[in-house]
Amino acid sequence: MKNLKKNSANNFQSDFKAKKSLGQNFLHAPQVISAMVHAGEISKESTVLEIGPGKGVLTEKLLLTEANIIAIEKDDRAISFLKEKFDKEIKNGKLKLIHGDILEFDEIELEKYIIIANIPYYITGEFMRKFLETENQPERIVVTLQKEVAKRIVDKKESILSISVKAYGNPRYLMTVPKKFFRPMPNVDSAVLIIDNISKKFFTDSKIDEKSFFEILKAGFAHKRKVLIRNLEEKIPKKTLEMIWGREGISKNIRAENVTLEMWKRIVGESFLS
């Protein structure tokens, strides 16, 4: 009997230890998992890209929606584990498991897709840039990230980060996820952030070039102590700025953190015109 048990355990990749280098903190909170799936507004017809499925807790709930799930995972141990766990769903074509690093995928050949992910914190920035800036953007992103970062994205006080996200979609803070909900437990709390209505409309409607927009945005935030108009003088002629400030009735003392996306559109748009 003992032998039998041992054999069956050997055949099955029953579990694996969390690897710090892969940022593995597994979610143990059914309510958070359900809330993330719900926030995805997934229907049977949806295509969902899950990043970093790990041991498949989210994948499992995603499969219940009967959508088509594509899951990309970097860890080969997790891949063997998931292959066993979701054997049936892989065979019936509902789940496609891809072994790879999400940051190395150049082309995402999916149409109208939704991203759901609980990924390591150290790839959040690169992941967001990649999927917000790509020509083939997802419709919606539901992602866990550090609480402080999520708060900064939705804070009334704007930052390069918050404006960059808002230029592509509507971010919403769904819920805080205390660190104790993860195993192993990370050092900081997390939050679930939703970015809805993702598109390039902001740029196409305003005819503002993406690259120039971000260059000007960065310049606007360059020196914290300086007011916006002084910061922007590095990029835009002073005369043009004074004309825009006058026309738009902007206070000379305004700082970048108090400038909304709509105002940025007018400032950058008008500076191109003149």
d(CA 178, CA 72): 25
Q: Does 186 bind ligand SAH (CB under 6 A)?
A: no
Which residue in the set 40, 52, 138, 220 belongs to the binding site for ligand SAH (CB under 6 A)? Answer: 52
Q: How far is the CB of 78 from ligand SAH (least distance, A)?
A: 5
Cβ neighbours, 10 Å, residue 41: 14
3-state secondary structure 189-247: CEEEEEEECCCCHHHHHHCCCHHHHHHHHHHHCCCCCCCHHHHHCCCCCHHHHHHHHHH
Contact by Cβ (8 Å): 166, 260? no
Contact pattern for ligand SAH over residues 95 through 134, marking x by CB under 6 A? ------xxx--------------xxx--x-----------
Q: Of 25 and 231, which has the nearer Cβ to ligand SAH?
A: 25
Which residue in the set 29, 57, 70, 227 belongs to the binding site for ligand SAH (CB under 6 A)? Answer: 57
d(CA 221, CA 217): 7
Q: How far is the CB of 203 from ligand SAH (least distance, A)?
A: 27
Q: Does 27 bind ligand SAH (CB under 6 A)?
A: yes
Q: Of 77 and 218, which has the nearer Cβ to ligand SAH?
A: 77
Which residue in the set 39, 75, 168, 259 belongs to the binding site for ligand SAH (CB under 6 A)? Answer: 75
Query: Which residues have a Cβ under 8 Å from the Cβ of 262 and sit 6 or more positions away?
Result: none
Residues interacting with ligand SAH, by CB under 6 A? 22-27, 51-55, 57-58, 72-75, 78, 101-103, 118-120, 123
